[in-house]
Amino acid sequence: MGSGEAWLARNGRIIKGRWEKPTVLSRTIFLGPDKKPYSIARGSVWIEVVPKEMMRKAKYE
């Protein structure tokens, strides 16, 4: 279905990774910089989709 770049935040740290969704029925998989699955903590999860052209303007602290 798709894949792309991802910025993953957990425990106050942000890393560059990837997301992959092989088919419409499969779960989205998040991968860390080592290409291994990146676990998502239990509880509330926030996902924001940002158009590529907006990434230069995105800021985080």
Domain segments of the chain: what residues? Answer: 2-39
Q: Which two tokens stand for residue 36?
A: 């291994």
As averages over each run of 10 residues, the pLDDT of the chain (61 residues) reads 90 91 94 93 83 73 67
Q: Which helix (H) or strand (E) holds 5?
A: strand 2-10
Q: What SS3 state is found at 49?
A: coil
pLDDT of residue 40: 83
pLDDT of residue 61: 67
Question: pTM for the full model?
Answer: 0.73
How far is the C-alpha of 47 from the C-alpha of 8, rounded, in Å? Answer: 9
